[in-house]
Amino acid sequence: MIKKLYLLVATLVFSIAALAADNRYLLGVDGLACPFCAYGIEKRLNRIDGVVDVQVDVGESVVHVTMREGKTLTEERASQAVDEAGFTLRSFSEAGGETGGNDAQ
């Protein structure tokens, strides 16, 4: 029992540390209108090397992208992926360690 608890605590500590090291980006995207749109852009962005998570907010027309530690996303690469998915990149910004609460500039 104690061994399992220790393992759980160790996993949580390492998970939190790993999440803190990720690079997060906020993309403003024109043309997002439905879940199918979200799926298309999510699929395209997930093809980029280093992407570990993509969250699409259709209502706000924004996409949150999380990159693996040591990887970055350039505006040019994001724009290319968004364009390939059939949308227009309106804005691009680093989310400063959080995926919520920041407006894209």
Domains of the chain, earliest start first: 22-94 (3.30.70.100)
- Residue 95 confidence (pLDDT): 87
Whole-number Å distance between alpha carbons of 9 and 16? 11
Measured between alpha carbons, how far is residue 69 from residues 7, 54, 66, 91 in Å? 23, 15, 9, 23
Q: Report the alpha-carbon distance of residue 84 to residue 97 in Å, rounded.
A: 27
Report the distance separating Cα 23 and Cα 73, nearest Å. 8
pLDDT of 5 over the 60 cut:
no
Amino acid 6: pLDDT: 47
pLDDT one-digit tens code per residue, 50-92: 999 999 999 999 999 999 999 999 999 999 999 999 999 999 9
What phi and psi, each to the nearest 5 degrees, are found at residue 75? -60, -40
- Residues 105, 102: Cα–Cα separation, whole Å: 9
100 band by pLDDT with thresholds 50, 70 and 90? very low
- The answer to which of 4-18, 23-37, 56-70, 79-93 has the lowest mean pLDDT is 4-18
pLDDT at 40 over 50: yes
